[in-house]
Amino acid sequence: MKKIFTTIVLLLLCIPTILAQETIIDGVAAVVGRNIIKYSDIDRSYAQMRLRIGNEKRQENRCAILENLILNQLLIHKGEVDSVDAEVSDDEVNQYVQEYIQNDLMQYGSKEALREATGFSYDELKEQYERMIRNYLISGRVQYKITGDIKVTPREVSDFFNSLPADSLPTIPERYEFSEIEIQPEISEAERDRVRTQLAELRERVLKGEKFSMLATLYSQDPGSAKKGGELGFFARGKMVSEFEAAAFALKPGEVSPIIETQFGFHIIQLIERRGNTVNARHILIIPKVSSDDLLRARMQLDSIASEIRAGHISFEDAARQYSTAANAKQGGTAVAPDGSTRFDKQVINEKYYNVGITGMDEGQISNATAMKTSDNRDAYRIVRLNKKHAAHRANLTDDYDNIYNAALANAKQEKLRQWARRQMGITYIHLSDEFKDCVFENLK
């Protein structure tokens, strides 16, 4: 099968750890239209590749990287010619830049440590991210204009599958289909009042002069931000749940919000900085707890439901619709995997459902009630029924149609992109440095 273009190579070019590991002599490796590809662009990406596969076929791999970069530059050049670049706003770019920069600062702890690790100042790194992200957004939009309307028919899916060499077909790991009934007890009003009182006291301490960041480190129950003094980093509208976002964007720098309730618990928020359409804020989160008595009642109720289902007095699906508090209750409790299918790989099962023991159950078997954490970190209990166990097997059209369809669609889009790129090669000025003139490009020939 033909090698697939990777059009997001630009995302790999500014990874700080890679920048720190390579001393790169810069120069122009290629010119595409009005844009250049630097040796440093190739070498940074190659440095990351070398960590995975070693130094074998060095020049061949550098040529492959250059081929991908040329494709990116063809897309960017087309975007500039067609004014697609004008559709990418500074605010949109800045939103992503702030996310990248804040992640780097969180990783290294300070601007000084970031410079020591990467060799670039904060402003230099920010400038590189701006260039990288703007180009990525332009190339992505042009690519979508080229391939966005591609569809494949069932016949084309079948033809694609039949064209694959038998020995290249992947082995599909053992997979599981199951349904679940979850009961998350309600939080008592007394517990909600306790949390509000605690947060009101913390807010008052901040207003009297104590540092919000210190109190966040001591008391916040958000594990991701507490160790950073509650700081969340810059975010734009649409990135946070609506109640939190509305409160944060209504604040002035240094101002502390009233107590806010979201699906995650109760918060107070302090605005650190506003930059364009983004804000940086810190918060203290307190999560109300379900009482042990309520949890015990949920467990006993689920064990009783499981007994009723096993006895044939109610179907699992009807019980899920009647009793489950999970989002999939209306679908009879059918669990949906991260890829949108109903089949879970063993790895996902073991990560999220290890305490239920699904991998050791028989088809149709129903578990006893087991403790769990919901997606918003609340205590709950659930029972599961193993609906079907799919043994590991070579991919085939009957059992794996959705996966093969997606692969066929991706292949069709890549072929359309290859054809477009070849045409663009004929009408776009391209110059290669002597070092790369002997490269054999697999997709651009």
Q: Answer whether 316's CB lies under 8 Å from 333's CB.
A: yes
Mean of the per-residue pLDDT values for the chain?
87
pLDDT tens for 240-271 read 999 999 999 999 999 999 999 998 999 999 99
- Which of 30-44, 81-95, 336-350, 404-418 is the most confident on average? 404-418
Domains defined along the chain, listed by start:
9-153+405-436 (1.10.4030.10), 172-187+291-394 (3.10.50.40), 189-286 (3.10.50.40)
Give the pLDDT of residue 26: 67
Helical (H) or strand (E) element with 204? helix 189-207
pLDDT: which is higher, 277 or 405: 405
pLDDT higher than threshold 90 for residue 50? no
**Rounded distance, CA 305 to CA 303, Å?**
5
Give the pLDDT of residue 375: 79
Q: DSSP letter string over 78-130?
A: HHHHTTGGGGS-HHHHHHHHHHHHHHHHHHHSSHHHHHHHHSS-HHHHHHHHH
- Which of 21-35, 109-123, 211-225 is the most confident on average? 211-225
- Which of 20-29, 37-46, 288-297 is the most confident on average? 288-297
* φ/ψ (deg, to 5) at 293: -65, -40
What Cα–Cα distance (Å) separates residue 119 from each residue in 47, 113, 123?
16, 10, 12
- Which two three-digit tokens encode residue 119? 């060799």
Q: What is the largest CA-CA distance in the chain?
A: 78
Length of the chain: 445
pLDDT-wise least confident of 20-34, 185-199, 282-296, 333-347: 20-34
Percent of the chain topping pLDDT 90: 54
Mean pLDDT of 232-247: 89
- Nearest Cα neighbor of 100 from 134, 55, 57, 145 is 134
**Rounded distance, CA 113 to CA 258, Å?**
35
Q: Please, which pLDDT band fits residue 101 given cuts at 50, 70 and 90?
A: confident
Look at strands 370-373 and 379-390 and give their pairing.
antiparallel
SS3 70: helix
Give the pLDDT of residue 380: 93
Give the pLDDT of residue 118: 77
Give the pLDDT of residue 12: 37
Q: Answer whether 283's CB lies under 8 Å from 225's CB.
A: yes
Q: Answer whether 273's CB lies under 8 Å from 280's CB.
A: yes
pLDDT higher than threshold 80 for residue 196? yes
Question: Euclidean distance between the first and final Cα of the chain, in Å?
Answer: 16
pLDDT tens for 197-219 read 999 999 999 999 999 999 999 99
Q: Answer whether 381's CB lies under 8 Å from 366's CB.
A: no
pLDDT higher than threshold 60 for residue 70? yes
Q: Answer whether 279's CB lies under 8 Å from 235's CB.
A: yes
Percent of the chain topping pLDDT 70: 93
Give the pLDDT of residue 15: 41
pLDDT higher than threshold 50 for residue 7? no
Q: Please, which pLDDT band fits residue 1 given cuts at 50, 70 and 90?
A: very low
Give the pLDDT of residue 445: 66
**Rounded distance, CA 358 to CA 342, Å?**
14
Question: Rg (Cα) of the chain, in Å, rounded?
Answer: 27
**Rounded distance, CA 299 to CA 296, Å?**
5
C-alpha 200: how far from chain center: 35
pLDDT-wise least confident of 20-24, 176-180, 184-188: 20-24
pLDDT tens for 346-376 read 888 877 776 778 888 999 999 999 999 887 7
- Which two three-digit tokens encode residue 208? 């009297």
Residue that is written with structure tokens 């085939």 in the block? 396
CA dihedral 436, 439, 441, 442 (to 10 degrees): -150
Q: Please, which pLDDT band fits residue 411 given cuts at 50, 70 and 90?
A: very high
pLDDT higher than threshold 90 for residue 24? no
pLDDT higher than threshold 80 for residue 226? yes
Residue 32 pairs with which residues in a beta bridge?
Answer: 35, 430
User: Contacts by 399-406 with C-beta closer than 8 Å and gap 24+?
Assistant: 399/172, 400/172, 401/157, 402/341, 403/172, 404/157, 404/160, 404/161, 405/152, 405/157
- Which two three-digit tokens encode residue 9? 């190579």
pLDDT tens for 135-168 read 899 999 999 999 999 999 999 999 999 999 988 8
